[in-house]
Each structure stands twice: as C-alpha cells, then as structure tokens.
Chain A
Amino acid sequence: MLNYIIKRIGIAIPTLLILIAVTFYLMHAAPGGPFTSEKPLPPQVLANIEAKYGLDQPIWRQMTTYLWGILTEFDFGPSYKYHSRTVNEIIGQGFPITLKYGFWSFVVAIGVGISLGAIAAIRKNTWVDYFAVGISIGAQVLPNFVMAPLLIIVFTLWLGWLPGGGWHGGDWEYLVMPVIALSTSYMASIARITRSSMLEVLNANYIRTARAKGLPTKTIFFRHVFKPSLLPVISYLGPAFVGLITGSVLIDIFFSTGGMGYFFVNAAFNRDYAVMMGITILVGALTILFSLIVDLLYAWIDPKIRY
C-alpha cells in the first residue's frame, strides 16, 4: 500500500510540472502580449512595463521564477490587467464561492444519484425503474448550459420563487439553482453506473447464497450489495469532479455567482494571461490531488486490489 501511495505521488508531481510548463509556454507563444492594445504604447513605456512584470527576462528564467514563487510562497504573481491586484487575491475571492456550490453539487449528485440508481436496480423492470432510467437519460442530454437557462425561465420568470442570480454570501435561495444546474448530469451518470453495477452484484452467486440462508432483504442489501456495487461509482468521482469544476465557468456566467469561472472567462477575454495560468494550474493541481485521493480510496475499499 505504501509503495502504491509513493508511486501515485510519483506520477502526480511530474504531471503537475508538465501542466505548469505547457500552460506557461502556451502563454508565451501567444502572438501579441498582454500589453498590446489598439493604440500601441511608446517602446520605452512598453519596455518599462515588461521589466516590471519580468517579461524581458529569458523564458526559462521567467518560468523558474514563476515556479519558485508558486512552490515557496504559493504566489501566482500579479494580474496583467488589474494592476493593483494579484492573482492570489482574485483566486482568493472566487475560489471559496466555487468551492461552496461545487461541494453541494457534489453531495447532491452523489446522494441523489446513488439512491436513484439503487432504487432502479432493486425494482428492476417496474415503472420505478423506467422512471429513474428516463430521468437519468434526460438529465444526461441536458448539459448545464441548457439546464441553467431553463431553470431561470421556470423558477424565476414563471414561478418567481427564486432569485435569478447573485450570491449574497451563499444563502440557500441563491444556491438552489446553481447546484441543480451543475449536479444534474453527474447525478444522472452516477445513477446509471450505480444501477448497472448493482444489477451485476444482485445477480452474483453470493447474493443467492445469502438469500438461501434466509437473511432479511435489508441485511443483504446493506451488508452484501451496497459496498461492492459502489466501486465503479468511486472511480467515476474523479471525472465528475473535473466536470463540476469546469461547469463552474458556466454557473458563474449564468447565475452571476462570482466564482472562479467568472474570473477565468473574464481573463480569457481580457487576455489576462497571469490569471488564466494561475486558475488553470490551481484547477489542475486540485484535479490531480482529487484523483490521487480517489485512487487511494479505491485501493482501500476494493479487497481485490493488492499493491
């Protein structure tokens, strides 16, 4: 187990370094720097600005400085667009918001998804099953950028129950629609995965044995069915996490929640490379960390896997 952990971390670190290097070189390969505008700056001014941000240094130098800043002080440097702000401040403002609705979406997706899948599997080929499968297929073809406007139309414009956007410190009214829009398609996938793996487990010989022994259905379900059928769900959590983070870009646009996605898109349109780079690297690091946790969890739960 310890070997496995070390090996996985051994992959995670180079992955992160490659990600940083690639994004960094991409930024610098871009035609036109962040300070090229329609009205060209006088060369002296431009040179001064570039010197201030260290852009006159050779590229490997810039990169090592950047990397060093991240590693030692967790410092992603200054924003190129908002001169008084650092990337850290921008991330610090947006990240907690994304984290909050992302967390709730995750909880909802897992909770509802597993329950729906389990019910569908237990009541296979009844209307409950068809209903659950129908919902999960429907939710899968409704990506979040379709869900979000539909939710706003129904709940804000027609029914007037919920505010159409804003954050207000994350009151529940402001959380409901972002969470629904973000979690639906992952909930659907989790439900489908749970259903099919649970069906497989329910058909296994040891379940038949348990039934033959005369164990009550409840015991069979919670003691013998539940855990093994969740394994595929766990391996899906990594991709789901990435999807939730990516989806935040959209949630922030639609519901004006002001999370990280908002700053990312803004930076994309302003060509504020420092902010884009900072957010990409942060998201990458989180993804890597999360998939590491998922893998370890998997190894810990699944008795068949030995390292």
Chain B
Amino acid sequence: MIVANKNKIISMAKNLSEDKTTSGRSLWADARTRFIRNKAAITSLFILALIVLFSFVGPYFAVWTYEQIDWNTMGSAATLGMPSIETGHYFGTDDLGRDIYSRVIQGTQISLMVGVVGATIAVVVGTLYGATSGYIGGRTDQIMMRIVDILMAIPFMFVLILLLVVFGRSIVMLFVGIGLLSWLDMSRIVRGQTLNLKNKEFIEAAKATGVSDYKIIMRHIVPNLLGIVAVYATLLVPGIIIAESFISFLGLGVQEPKTSWGALISEGAGTINYDTEWQLLFPLAFFIVTLFCIYFIGDGLRDALDPKER
C-alpha cells in the first residue's frame, strides 16, 4: 500500500512538475474499465479464449485424426470406446470408431468459424446498409427499409433448407444463407443510431466544409456506430452458431468427414440408447459453455458500451 501510494505521489508530482494535464477518458477507455470490472464477462472471455486456443492446439495432442477409424472399437463403442487415456481416445469414440476428441476439435473450429464469418457479414453489410439508409433518409430510406421489412417476413430457416437442398450442401451455401439472414436486425439498429447521429454538430460541420456524403458515412458516422455494432455482433454470434448447428443437426450442413457441434450433438442424441453418453456430453458441453461465455461477454459489452444503459 505504501509503495503504491508512494508511486502515485511521485507520478502526481511528476505531472505537476512537467505541467501535464490529465488526459480525458475516452468512451473506449471508459468502456474498458467497466468491462474489466464485470467479473462474469472477464471470466467468460478467459474461458472462451481457452476454448479457441484448444481448438488450435488440441490436434497436436490427439492420437487419432478426426477421420481416422479405430478398427478395434468400431461397432462396439459402448464397451470398448469409452473415454480413456490409454487408447488415446480422450473423449471416447463413436460407433464407427472415430475419435470424439478430434471430432469435437474439428466441430469447434467449424462452428466458431461459422459464427465469426456470419457475424462479420452481418456487421459489414448491416452497418453499411443501415448507415446509408439512415444518413440519406427520405425516399431512399423508405425504400431501403421496406426491403428489410420484406426480407424479414421470409421464413429464413425454410428458405435456407431449400437453398441447401436445391444447390447442394456446401459450406459456401451455408454462409450465403446465414449471411442473408443475419444482417437485417443489424441494419435496423444501425439505421436508428444513424438517425440520431445525423443531426449532431460535427456532421453539420463536416457538411459545411464540403465533405462528400460517402466520406461522412465512412469517416464520421460508422466509427461512432462501432460501440453498438460491437455489442450486437457479439449477441448475434450465438444465434448464428445455433442456426448452423440446427442445419447440421438436420444433416444438411457440413459434410462428412468434417463435422460441427450440431452434427456431433445430433449423432450423440441419436445413439443415446446405446450407453455411449460421451458422444453427446462432450460436444454438448463445449457447445453450452461457449454459448454461455459469448452471452456473458455480449452482456458485459452492452453494459460497457451501450450509451442507453448508462
């Protein structure tokens, strides 16, 4: 305590002697302090980082790859395929003798990637669309928002399944479908924020000095939206992961031998009667823990960044 105080006094003295004024706290610095103070969010961030790290480092500790078949345990997963260190199947095997450990890692990679890519599409398209619509206003705004209304009324899960059936299952199609679905809410939120920002003095100043609309949107509107966009992007990720898992669960998502959480949970749920709980429990645990973490991080971010909550 004494040391800390001493340091503080010294630094204060230094500030005084060098005639430094204390710098104002920016929105982001403020938000950071608030976020760090939120224990649930910080713990979640830590766990999530571990999971991401695991999905990259995990394969180096795996004895089996995700598509390799252990002929010894094939067909008798319930008796021979239990989780054990000796056989190298840390999480057990499925009925085909494939290693659940490696498959969970593979599934984690795919599911997280889908979540991140989906959220990125939502952020880029939604922000630009919403900001443009809100900033230009008038008739353009009306038409652009009507289009969003129309798209929102379409039952997307059904159309997504339809797309996947018609054009064949592929991860690209999945991204296209999820991308189509995810940006709508974001664009509405961003538009609302933009309408608020539009009448602020600094925008007026920019206009008065003859900055082009495009530049105003990119340089003045979008950066000011980042806070709220970050919050909603985080809150979007679980939804997207759930959507992908749902599709994979139906057997329309990623193709074998690649897998994702949804596909793994589906397999595990299908074989629940054969005493191979580990097939369900390991992917399920990863799925639930990750979603929990993302929710808490999103909540923490919202508390830290959303100006309305202050």
Contact = CB atoms under 8 A, between A and B. Distances in A.
Say if A and B assemble together. yes
Interface of A: 11-12, 14-15, 18-19, 22-23, 26-27, 29-31, 137, 140-143, 145-146, 148-149, 152-153, 157, 242, 245-246, 249-250, 253, 264-265, 268-269, 271, 276, 279-280, 283-284, 287-288, 291
A145 B266 contact: yes
B155 A157 contact: no
Interface string B148-174: 011011110111011101111000000
Interface stretch (B24-32, B75-83, B218-226, B283-291): B283-291
Contact of B150 (A14, A242, A283): A14
A224 B252 CA distance: 49
Contacts of B288: 141-142, 146
A141 B163 contact: no
A140 B158 contact: no
A30 B168 CA distance: 9
Contacts of B155: 242, 245-246, 280, 283-284, 287
A265 B246 CA distance: 12
Interface of B: 146, 149-150, 152-155, 157-159, 161-163, 165-168, 238, 242, 245-246, 249-250, 252, 262, 265-266, 268-269, 272-273, 280, 284, 287-288, 291-292, 295
A246 B158 contact: yes
Given A280-B159, A283-B158, A268 B165 contact: yes
25 contacts: A11-B149, A11-B150, A15-B154, A18-B150, A19-B153, A19-B154, A27-B166, A29-B166, A31-B168, A140-B295, A145-B245, A145-B262, A145-B266, A149-B269, A153-B272, A157-B272, A242-B155, A246-B155, A265-B161, A280-B162, A283-B158, A284-B153, A284-B155, A284-B158, A288-B153
Given A141-B295, A148-B269, 16 more contacts: A12-B153, A14-B150, A15-B153, A18-B150, A23-B159, A26-B163, A140-B295, A145-B246, A145-B266, A157-B273, A246-B155, A249-B250, A265-B161, A269-B165, A276-B165, A284-B155
Contacts of A18: 150
A250 B154 contact: no
B287 A146 contact: yes
B294 to A, nearest CB: 9
A157 B150 CA distance: 45
Kindly name the residue among A29, A146, A148, A249 whose own CB sees the greatest number of chain B CB atoms within 10 A. A146
Contacts of B287: 146
- Chain A interface secondary structure, helix, strand, loop or mixed? helix
Contacts of B153: 12, 15, 19, 284, 287-288, 291
Contact of A143 (B159, B245, B250): B245
A88 to B, nearest CB: 18
Give the top 9 A-B pairs by smallest Cβ distance, nearest first. Answer: A149-B269, A141-B291, A246-B157, A30-B166, A283-B155, A15-B150, A280-B158, A143-B242, A268-B165
A287 B242 CA distance: 21
A275 to B, nearest CB: 11
A14 B242 CA distance: 30
B246 A271 contact: no
Contacts of B292: 137, 141
A157 B275 CA distance: 11
B282 to A, nearest CB: 13
A15 B151 CA distance: 8
Contacts of A30: 165-167
Contacts of A11: 146, 149-150
Contacts of A157: 272-273
A268 B168 CA distance: 11
A149 B280 CA distance: 9
Contacts of B161: 249, 264-265, 268, 276
A27 B163 CA distance: 9
A173 to B, nearest CB: 20
A191 B81 CA distance: 42
A134 to B, nearest CB: 11
A26 B280 contact: no
A145 B166 contact: no
A143 B272 contact: no
Contacts of B157: 246, 249
Contacts of B242: 143
A288 B151 CA distance: 11
Nearest to A289: B153
A145 B249 contact: yes
Contacts of A149: 265, 268-269, 272, 280
